[in-house]
Structure 1
Amino acid sequence: MIVNRFTIVVYQLYFTVFAVIAIILGILTKGTRYFAQKKREKPKCLEGWDSRFIQLKNIRLHYVQTGSDDKPLMLFVHGYPEFWYSWRFQLKEFQHDYRCIAIDQRGFNLSDKPPRIEDYNPRELTNDIKNFIEALGYKSAIIVGHDWGGAIAWLFAEYYPEMVEKLICLNITRPATLVNHFRNSYEQFKKSWYFFFYQTPKLPEILSNAEDMKLLEFFFRSKEMGIRNQENFTDEDLEAWKYAYSNNGASFEYPINYYRNAFDPIWLYGEEDILNMPVLVIWGTDDAALGKELAGLSLKKLTNGRAEYVPGASHWVQQDAPEVVNKLMREFLAQQ
């Protein structure tokens, strides 16, 4: 093991100190403006969608649907810091063939926001998917996941393989594979700095909200992390993100709790199991957070899996290169 407990503790201390210094400097240089947030109206790009809610056993989830209720179910599961709108290009593309549903996961946007950190443990998250599919009257679905949504989709496939017709994961590998790579690759360990940043209580929430949620601009527009094809992420799209993280009781606090459950051993469930459903892994090669070697590692212990690379695309591959992603998905879905 290259990365040991001491290294992890040092990183956590480093990012705690970094966060404190950043906040102090922000207050000193900008005063109260550091905490100011613009009051936002709902952007037009969020209007005109079929927005619905569903009450599950212990939580109410919001979702957006395209396609009719009698078609096969294609369920889209977003990551962080995202919400249903991350799948806008796919919701439009596949609406004539499937009942396309993009959920807001618990803690995000319009879905319920349980208050405790443990409310976001991986077992709860996978059960949300199971209960959602069953509540709609389906026994199975095509599952499409990205980032955290992809990790949950992988884990769901391990717990409930009979409920997954086909699995499509974008820029995320099997959780157990990621954990093991994280432990043994110092390069990946360094890329995953944000895992440690988010373990610190309260400070990540303060930094995420600072300067009118400037961190969202870093994620989606910076040279390091951002979407390469900026015509696919307009000023209005950015406003949609900021609206989704500041209205209707939404905040960064609840989504960050996903990271605070990142080291739960449940993520290692089924690491030796063979998955038999068809699996497609799509990977933007310019992902600053996850190394592209993880795409190939994803194929271990799959009987029917393949990986496709999208050259030059960022971590946000389904938004960065929607035409390429949609084409790869269509080809995969057409296969028997």
Structure 2
Amino acid sequence: MSFGKKVLGVLSFVGTVPWVLFCIGRCIFLILRHGPSRFFERKNHDPLPKVAQNPKFEHDYIVTKSGMKFHCVHSGPRTAKLMLCLHGFPECWYTYHHVLNDFSDEYHVVAVDSRGYGDSDKPESIGAYHRDYLANDVREIINALGHEKAIIVAHNWGGIVTWYLAHVFPEVIDKMIIMNCPHGEAFWEYTLKNPSQLLKFWYVFLFQCPYLPELMMSALDYIMLPRTYNQMPNGILDPTKRLTSEEMGVFKYCVGRNFKYVCNYYRAVNPLYNGMRLKKKVEIISTPTLVVWGMDDAVLGNKYLPYLSKVVKNLKIVEVENCSHWVALERPDLLAKEMRNFLKE
């Protein structure tokens, strides 16, 4: 292991300490406020709620070349061009239920539960969630679905993977649509100039710690999930678009019981994990790219956008005012309109 990686590993550990203390304090506070029985309550959210059982959608599983099994939700004719939808944290395939509806007339739309989520496979090791494996998953999912390339629609962690995929496996992407996720180089260029931005990513440091993040996020029957989507400052701004209790049941089913694996995405960012050692095939992305950005994102803000043109050649940016981080859920009509215009170009 290189000296640089050892230093970065130590810095990651040091940055985790204050948030571990915060997590312990928060858990103690919640236990005192609600009582131990309520704090540790975990309801059974099986089976998948009816709101997610749209008759237009077909649920099945695919197995990739690497032997990973993924839960997929399909709409549209399977002979059509593939549109593959990749969700983020703490999400699942249901993030794209509007896209599955809106594009089923023209495309074979597939929303997949990424490794560790829903009913997809869940490797135990932290290193198995390194971005190399995540990018390779996408390439192999496209092939397992019988295609050589796909239009990729991505948000949050799905965006992180897609930006990276465009460097290491650009040949599998036809076009890409990314919501509220900066390219890694844009992220670091802006953040290094504005280090206070790192404070908004406190959870990344917290997730380096074992057990405690899972305990805090699953407390009070996964109360973190409805707060993330429906409450300020991070939640959906439009009250009419907030998730119902039944829809929250979908996320509790797909995410809640899998918090350990969800946290591993952030743990595998630690430079101590090497992944598959994939090499970039291109430095500057030339894949046609549409970025749709909710301008009122409480964590990411919107200051990363000017930096994207430095790493993406063929780029179109749509700024969505009065919209939170959750673009696909909050502004599905606008998203569909912008996607259609982009895909016709």
* TM-score normalized by the length of structure 2: 0.90
Within 1, Cα distance between the matches of 2:146 and 2:253? 32
The equivalent of 1:186 in structure 2 is 195
Q: CA RMSD in A?
A: 2.2
Runs (5+) with no aligned partner, structure 2: 1-6
**Equivalent residue of 2:223, what SS?**
helix
The number of residues matched between the two structures is 329
Q: Is the 8 A contact 1:280 1:332 kept in 2?
A: yes
Equivalent residue for 2:86?
77
Q: Identify the match of residue 329 of structure 1 among 339, 342, 345.
A: 339
Corresponding residue for residue 14 of structure 1: 18
- SS of the equivalent of 1:144 reads strand
Residue 182 of structure 1 and its aligned partner are, at CA, apart by: 3.1
Partner SS for 1:192:
helix
User: What's 1:51 paired with?
Assistant: 59
Match of 2:4? none
Cα distance in 1 for partners of 2:98, 2:279 equals 32
- Tell me the SS of whatever aligns to 1:283: strand
In structure 2, C-alpha distance between the alignment counterparts of 1:182 and 1:161, rounded to whole Å: 26
Residue 299 (structure 1) shift: 2.1
Residues 316 and 129 (structure 1 numbering): CA distance in 2 closer, same or farther, change over 3 Å? same
| Cα shift at 1:298 | 1.7
In structure 1, the partner of 2:45 is: 40
Say which of 170, 184, 195 aligns to 2:179: 170
One-letter identity of the residue aligned with 1:320: E
Which one of the candidate residues 234, 255, 259 is aligned to 1:252? 259
State how far apart, in whole Å, the 1-side matches of 2:255 and 2:90 are. Answer: 9
AA in 2 matched with 1:90: V
Q: Deviations over 1:65-100 (max 9, x none)?
A: 010110000100000000000001111111111100
Q: Is the 8 A contact 2:190 2:303 kept in 1?
A: no
2:327 corresponds in structure 1 to 317
What's 1:27 paired with?
Answer: 31
Change (3 A) 1:15 1:271: farther
Contact 1:188 1:291 in 2 (8 A): no
CA–CA separation in structure 1 for the residues paired with 2:152 and 2:263: 23
For residue 266 of structure 2, what is the amino acid of its counterpart? Answer: Y
Q: CA deviation at 1:222?
A: 1.3
Identity within the alignment, %: 33
Structure 1 gap ranges (5+): none
CA contact (8 A) 1:296 1:307 kept: no
Match of 1:129 in 2: 138
Query: Does residue 149 of structure 1 match 2:158?
Result: yes
Aligned-pair distance for 1:155? 0.6
Please list, as runs of the form range in 1=range in 2, the aligned pairs for 1:88-99 lying within 5 A after superposition: 88-99=97-108
Shift of 1:199: 1.1
TM-fit CA distance, 1:9: 5.5
Match of 2:292 in 1: 282
Match of 1:67 in 2: 76
CA displacement at 1:270 relative to structure 2: 4.7
**1:300 and 2:305 aligned:** no
Whole-Å separation in 2 of the counterparts to 1:185 and 1:272: 28
Q: Distance in 2 between matches of 1:72 and 1:319?
A: 24
CA deviation after TM superposition for structure 1 residue 124, in Å? 0.5
Which one is further off, 169-178 or 197-206?
A: 169-178
